[in-house]
Amino acid sequence: MRQRLPIIATVVVFLLLYVAACFRFEGFGTLRVFFNFLSDNAFLGVIAVGLTFVILTGGIDLSVGAMLGCAGIMVADLITKFHLHPGLATLIVLGFGALVGWTQGMLVEKFKLPSFLVTLGGLFFCRGFSLWISRESMQIDHPAFSELSQFSIKLPAKASLPVSALVWLVILAIGAYLARQTRFGRTTYAIGGNEASARLMGLPVSKTKVLIYTFSGFCAALGGLVFALYTGSGNAVSGTGLELDAIAAVVIGGTLLSGGYGSILGSFIGVMILGVIQTAISFDGTLSSWWTKIFIGALLLIFILLQKLIERSVRAN
Amino acid sequence: MNSRQLPPYLWTIALLLAVFIFNAAFSPGFFTIEWRDGRLFGSLVDIVNRAVPVLLLSLGMTLVIATKGVDLSVGAVMAICGAVAACLIAHPQGSLLKDFQVESLAGIIAAALLVAVVCGLFNGLLVAKIKVQPIVATLLLMVTGRGIAQLLTNGQIVVFEHPEFQALGSGSWFGLPSPIWIFMLSFVLIGLLVHGTAFGKLAAATGSNETAARYAGVKVDSIKVWVYVICAVCAGIAGLIGAADIKAADSNNAGLYLELDAILAVAVGGTAMAGGKFTLVGSVIGAILMQALTTTILTRGVGAETTSILKAVVVVAVCLLQSPAFRESYRRILGLGRAQA
Amino acid sequence: MILEAIGLRMGFTGVKALDGVNFHLRRGEIHALMGENGAGKSTLIKCLTGVYQPDSGQLLLAGEPYRPSSPQHATELGISTVYQEINLAPNLSVAENICLGREPRGPFGIRWKEVRQRAKAALARLQIELDVNAPLGSISVAHQQLVAIARALDVSCQALILDEPTSSLDRNEVDQLFEVLRRLKSEGMGILFVTHFLDQVYAISDRITVLRNGRLVGEFVTSELPKLDLVSHMIGRSASELEAPLAPRSLSAGSTFMSVEKMSGSRSTQDVSFEVSPGEVVGLAGLLGSGRTETLRMIYGIDPIQSGSIQFGNRRRSKLNLQTAIKEGLGLCPEDRKSEGILPDLSVRENLMLVVQNRRGWWRRLSRKEQQETVSNFINRLQIATPDADRPIQFLSGGNQQKVLLARWLAANPKLLLLDEPTRGIDVGAKFEISNLIESLRQGGMSFLFVSSELEEVFRSSNKVLVLRDRRMVGELTGDEIDQNRIMGMIAGNPE
């Protein structure tokens, strides 16, 4: 019960914010606005799925924001300059993301380097690499690509689910399945609970950790593709500071930064909370955009303090 | 037999010299320093002058890393302090600080640095008392800090006019750019604080083995709070110089990613990322090396993106060199036998 | 015979951790492995379970030679280990901890229903009932220990190794565990059991193997080995051997520096009462795990005191923190020098001057000259083998590190120094050096609380001896009462 407290707090915060916003702003409560949360935050949501696994083991991945920009500019470059088919370009970009993630995982696991330093290196690398591809924003002109970005499933009440939202929901389902129903997922939790114990229990700790960073790199690249689809272009500097939003979403979603506790669905709600805050502030009109950062920071502080309280009471047991 | 170790930044100096020689070979006059309009001009002066913000940050960061911590919020603290100073001078429309007007230079600096102290206390207390991991604790201010800076400036880029204050960033005293003087003063003060007192030793003890230090009676919590405060003040000074240089406070971009540069400079300078032994001099050389590399790349016309990739390579390489696991494995590969246990 | 080791040798840089050890575990027996610090118990276990690869010697499983390459491999062969520290995931459920890594799977991934059933079955075999859905961290340590055993038995297991499973259990919990062990024994399993509690050895084990300093002392049938003999085998002195004590047995009655009254801590030593005068060495005798270290930790303000008090002069304290303890003039040389003592990457000089410098305060840095004087003085007096004082302490041998840590406090001249195994891993010459040093400082008025696994040392250096047994103080000996026979009898729990 005590361990469930963060996720309960997350759901309560989401409901309170959502209901309050619905009362405060006309038209906030419509189905269309709700589904817009899904499509507007899909890139962040996709990234958060991979990052949740990393944080569940007690690590951190700072390279996700830079990878988003890198994947976007890469796919744009491959399609526009090299005239590759978008499908092939997508595969290449996803492979690249996984490769960068794998490299980071190997450095963290094999050489016992701190994850924040390694992924800091990853951040620099991805930013440099994307600027090297192109400093300018690149439009993506390809019939298949535009068709894909326009496709959406129509829902009642003028709501619709575009591809980006669908990708998010699919990766969410995969993430939740991996975390809950596979040995890979359970090993992830065991590592977060106590890494040394997990090794002594004979679990494949090294393999799992490398895979987790690989998956996080893959998700970040996928997030970049979703973002490119959403904006119709690639830009080397997009996703600046996004790693912080992603970490905030995961933590607010109830995942303990020390690892071991948390869930993929929690991170989903965490992303939705950020979405509600952002949308509410834009609905308000009088509140400026920086209030988003301050709100998120304050929320993050509250959740971190809550986590510490839980940790303490668990230890006192 | 004397086993006093060679300074860990020896190869940093070697690299720095290599970069200088490379430059000198391609651009004659690289080492030339001219006296014009009552001040020194030249590539070397320029490199150091440009490195000043990272130099200042790396001083504080060295101490934080020595205690096994890290401070990701320094870039945001720079933005906040720049914003405070700019708002006090220009009191722009819609700013939270529009009703406060401070004319004197000392007042402006004091107010901005006071805010920096508060930021440092916030970080330090979270780390030392609430026992939040340093990355997480300082991440918080990293996220929120820019929001706070924008709140202060009401989201605008606040442009101001204050000759005395501007001189901090773009003036020159006794022939050298004023930022270099400010850095040297800070370096001497922190050097005195760290090595003239026992503070540095006790901070290194804290980082080397916190439990052992605590059992020996060292007040590790106070030491941790202090290093975060010092680090934030360094960031505050860097923020003031940055704002004075461009005569404006840009909350979005001031100090952006500089926390990473500072960590890099410390690592390159030979301070162990795992805490313990540290070297301020090494960090200074590290910061100048990073700036020299950046300047070189820019003047060669290779493009700024290469700097990022280079930084990535350097960060990973330095970490690997410090990693016992890596040393062990290359020793094995080279057949040098097992390392001492 | 289920598990055998013949002529096992294992060395670490210069130290023989195991020197030709033989060991035999039969089917259907509970076999206790006994020995003090550094006896080689944990090395033996690690060789049996594949954590270490022995340098030479043979391992037999059911008569067949085997060489486990990892703990995982050993488990597959049928040798399961349960460690003192519970090596499970506290954040996951009981059921999951039992099945982790070998969960039954179906087309949709893990079959949770089957996981729970299997966990229930495994627990039922131990005849314990637990909510298998509860997170492991929420159940008692004893139950966690039983879950760890259930996990070990979830695979086909022929030999079960228990490394100090009872060190954090209370009496009822130990009884519950023992019941389980007896049942497993009757099923024909061989159980190797490491503990420091003598009563438990006699309550449960059939045979005992005693190791000392990496050598086999002997293999005994429990019922035929008197406790006193067991203790003397472990400590390595026959009770009749005597040596002249260094410290005078009776001190002229003087003032009291510190008096401890009925001090107890939760999961720590109970009911400790004694007094220390200036210039007195109080020895704490007792086996490993008898509450020696715990007592020092409470006095030094690391672990909280639950009841009772400590009085310094006329200041009575029922709560003590580390800073207060230091202000009262206490110092501690901890037992685990690697994790609690040395600052690995700092120099010998910096390590040695730490306490002196800290006491001086942040602002008054010791000059290089002052440091040099003190440091070279101690390097000479304690014969610290180091090329020079600027060498990082991590490159010194363990014994020399210990001397530096001792010097760290001696240089600060505390009123009462708590020494936890100060001579562990030190060569004989240095041991005498340290004993003599303690005696001369004692004459100068410094007091000591002295813990050592070597009874001889306690006997030689102490003016007063407190005897601890099973986390309880069982007696205080002064003057002529200090007698090795008598101390050993009290440690063994023989009635006086």
Output the pLDDT for position B338: 43
Residue C431 confidence (pLDDT) above 90: no
Residue B77 confidence (pLDDT) above 90: yes
CB A199 within 8 A of CB C101: no
CB C326 within 8 A of CB B217: yes
What average pLDDT does range C272-287 have in this prediction? 90
Residue A240 phi/psi, 5° resolution?
-65, 125
Range from B32-46, B54-68, C138-152 that averages highest in pLDDT: B54-68
Torsion on CA atoms C307, C311, C315, C317, rounded to nearest 10: -20
- CA-CA distance, B255 to A268, in Å (whole number)? 31
Counted across chains A and B, CB pairs separated by less than 8 A come out at: 129
Residues of chain B above pLDDT 90, percent: 45
C418 touches chain B (CB under 8 A): no
Of A27-36, A39-48, A210-219, A249-258, least confident by mean pLDDT is A27-36
Q: Does the pTM of the predicted model rise above 0.90?
A: no
- CA-CA distance, B62 to B267, in Å (whole number)? 9
Cα–Cα distances in angstroms (integers) from residue B73 to residues B70, B79, B119, B123, in the given order: 9, 10, 9, 9
C274 to chain B, closest Cα gap in Å? 23
B164 to chain A, closest Cα gap in Å? 31
- CA-CA distance, A142 to A75, in Å (whole number)? 11
- CB contact under 8 Å between C340 and B215, yes or no, is yes
Q: Whose CA is closest to C52, among C17, C84, C25?
A: C17
Range from B222-236, C57-71, C288-302, C386-400 that averages highest in pLDDT: B222-236
- CB contact under 8 Å between C358 and B216, yes or no, is yes
Of A37-46, A207-216, C311-320, least confident by mean pLDDT is C311-320
Residues of B with Cβ-Cβ distance to A111 under 8 angstroms = 319-320, 323, 325-326, 329
Give the distance, in angstroms, between the CA of residue B19 and the centroid of all CA atoms in the same chain: 21
- For B226, residues 6+ apart whose C-beta sits below 8 A from its C-beta are B124, B199
Output the pLDDT for position B3: 43
- Residue A142, burial from CB neighbour count under 10 angstroms (0-12, 13-18, 19+): middle
Residues of A with Cβ-Cβ distance to C96 under 8 angstroms = 186
- Compare A120 and B6 and report the one with higher pLDDT: A120
Q: What is the 3-state secondary structure (H, E, C) of chain A?
A: CHHHHHHHHHHHHHHHHHHHHHHHCCCCCCHHHHHHHHHHCHHHHHHHHHHHHHHHCCCCCCCHHHHHHHHHHHHHHHHHCCCCCHHHHHHHHHHHHHHHHHHHHHHHHHCCCCHHHHHHHHHHHHHHHHHHHCCCCEECCCHHHHHHHHCEEECCCCCEEEHHHHHHHHHHHHHHHHHHHCHHHHHHHHHHHCHHHHHHCCCCHHHHHHHHHHHHHHHHHHHHHHHHHHHCEECCCCCCCHHHHHHHHHHHCCCCCCCCCCCHHHHHHHHHHHHHHHHHHHHHCCCCCHHHHHHHHHHHHHHHHHHHHHHHHHHHC
The beta strands (E) that lie in chain B are given as 34-36, 39-41, 158-159, 172-173, 176-177, 248-249
Residues of C with Cβ-Cβ distance to A190 under 8 angstroms = 89, 92, 100
Residues of A with Cβ-Cβ distance to B130 under 8 angstroms = 305, 308
Place of tokens 């600096």: B109
C301 touches chain B (CB under 8 A): no
C336 touches chain B (CB under 8 A): no
- CA-CA distance, C462 to C246, in Å (whole number)? 8
Q: Chain B interface, mutation test: which of A67, A278, A290, A308, most B Cβ atoms within 10 Å?
A: A290
Residue A145 confidence (pLDDT) above 90: no
Confidence of residue B73 (pLDDT cuts 50, 70, 90): very high
C390 to chain B, closest Cα gap in Å? 6
A193 to chain B, closest Cα gap in Å? 16
Neighbouring C-beta atoms of residue C12, cutoff 10 Å: 11
- Specify which residues A178 forms β-bridges with: none
Q: Chain C interface, mutation test: which of B3, B210, B224, most C Cβ atoms within 10 Å?
A: B3
- For C228, residues 6+ apart whose C-beta sits below 8 A from its C-beta are C239, C488, C489, C492, C494
- CA-CA distance, B109 to B115, in Å (whole number)? 10
Residue A316 confidence (pLDDT) above 70: no
* Both structure tokens of A23: 């009362």
C135 touches chain A (CB under 8 A): yes
Q: Which residue in B has a C-alpha nearest to residue A125's C-alpha?
A: B309
CB B263 within 8 A of CB B65: yes
**Measured between CB atoms, which of C101, C103, C108 is closest to A201?**
C101
C101 touches chain A (CB under 8 A): yes
Residue C426 confidence (pLDDT) above 80: no
CB B249 within 8 A of CB B86: yes
- CA-CA distance, C282 to C271, in Å (whole number)? 17
- For A285, residues 6+ apart whose C-beta sits below 8 A from its C-beta are none
- CA-CA distance, C216 to C43, in Å (whole number)? 13
A66 to chain B, closest Cα gap in Å? 11
Question: For residue C345, what is the DSSP state?
Answer: T
A75 touches chain C (CB under 8 A): no
CB A277 within 8 A of CB A17: yes
Query: Each residue of B278-320: pLDDT tens digit?
Result: 999 999 999 999 888 888 888 887 777 788 888 888 878 877 8
- CB contact under 8 Å between C357 and B202, yes or no, is yes
Residue C237 confidence (pLDDT) above 70: no
CB B116 within 8 A of CB B77: yes
- CB contact under 8 Å between A121 and B319, yes or no, is yes
Residue C239 confidence (pLDDT) above 50: no
Output the pLDDT for position B1: 36
Is the ipTM here above 0.95?
Answer: no
B93 touches chain C (CB under 8 A): no
* Cβ within 8 Å of B, A 242-271: 244, 247-248, 257-258
Output the pLDDT for position A16: 92
Place of tokens 């020194």: B40
What average pLDDT does range B144-169 have in this prediction? 88
Output the pLDDT for position C242: 45
Residues of chain C above pLDDT 90, percent: 27
- CB contact under 8 Å between C326 and B217, yes or no, is yes
- CB contact under 8 Å between B212 and C392, yes or no, is no
Q: Chain A interface, mutation test: which of C81, C84, C91, C92, most A Cβ atoms within 10 Å?
A: C91
A128 to chain B, closest Cα gap in Å? 4
Mean pLDDT of chain B: 87
Counted across chains A and C, CB pairs separated by less than 8 A come out at: 69
Kind of pairing between the strands at C190-194 and C30-34:
parallel
Query: Each residue of C12-61: pLDDT tens digit?
Result: 755 678 888 999 999 999 999 988 766 788 889 889 988 888 888 999 98
Mean pLDDT of chain C: 85
- Specify which residues C482 forms β-bridges with: none
- Residue B313, burial from CB neighbour count under 10 angstroms (0-12, 13-18, 19+): middle
A189 touches chain C (CB under 8 A): yes
Residues of A with Cβ-Cβ distance to C91 under 8 angstroms = 3, 189, 192-193, 260-261
Residues of chain A above pLDDT 90, percent: 46
* Both structure tokens of C375: 């440091």
- CA-CA distance, C109 to A200, in Å (whole number)? 24
What average pLDDT does range C58-84 have in this prediction? 86
Output the pLDDT for position C118: 92
Of A30-44, A148-162, A253-267, C227-241, least confident by mean pLDDT is C227-241
Residue A308 confidence (pLDDT) above 80: yes
Of B124-138, C152-166, C368-382, least confident by mean pLDDT is C152-166
Confidence of residue A266 (pLDDT cuts 50, 70, 90): very high
**3-state SS assignment for residue B56:** helix
- CB contact under 8 Å between B130 and A308, yes or no, is yes
Identify residue C391 by its one-letter amino acid code. R
Residues of C with Cβ-Cβ distance to B218 under 8 angstroms = 354, 358
CB C169 within 8 A of CB C145: yes
Range from A31-35, B56-60, B85-89 that averages highest in pLDDT: B56-60
- CA-CA distance, B80 to A285, in Å (whole number)? 24
* Both structure tokens of C240: 């009749």
Output the pLDDT for position A315: 63
**Measured between CB atoms, which of C86, C91, C109 is closest to A189?**
C91
- For A248, residues 6+ apart whose C-beta sits below 8 A from its C-beta are A270, A274, A296, A297, A299, A300, B143
Output the pLDDT for position C254: 72
Residue A241 confidence (pLDDT) above 70: yes
Residues of B with Cβ-Cβ distance to A298 under 8 angstroms = 144
- Compare A4 and C176 and report the one with higher pLDDT: C176
A122 touches chain B (CB under 8 A): yes
A262 to chain C, closest Cα gap in Å? 10
Indicate the angle between helix axes B43-66 and B220-246, nearest 10 degrees: 160
- Compare A176 and C84 and report the one with higher pLDDT: A176
- CA-CA distance, B266 to B285, in Å (whole number)? 9
Residue A74 confidence (pLDDT) above 50: yes
* Cβ within 8 Å of C, B 216-255: 216-219
Indicate the angle between helix axes A264-284 and A290-316, nearest 10 degrees: 150
A115 to chain B, closest Cα gap in Å? 11
- CA-CA distance, C453 to C447, in Å (whole number)? 20
Neighbouring C-beta atoms of residue B2, cutoff 10 Å: 8
Q: Which H helix or E strand runs over C139?
A: none
- For C161, residues 6+ apart whose C-beta sits below 8 A from its C-beta are C45, C48, C49, C79, C80, C81, C82, C191, C192, C194
Query: Each residue of B196-206: pLDDT tens digit?
Result: 899 999 999 99
Output the pLDDT for position C117: 93
- CB contact under 8 Å between B341 and C13, yes or no, is yes
Q: What is the DSSP string of C103-120?
A: --EETTEE-HHHHHHHHH
**Measured between CB atoms, which of A128, A296, A298 is closest to B308?**
A128
Output the pLDDT for position C161: 92
Q: Whose CA is closest to B275, among B310, B322, B317?
A: B322
Residues of chain C above pLDDT 70, percent: 93
Of A159-168, B53-62, C148-157, least confident by mean pLDDT is C148-157
- CB contact under 8 Å between C302 and B205, yes or no, is no
Residue C240 confidence (pLDDT) above 60: no
Confidence of residue C149 (pLDDT cuts 50, 70, 90): confident
- CB contact under 8 Å between A202 and C75, yes or no, is yes
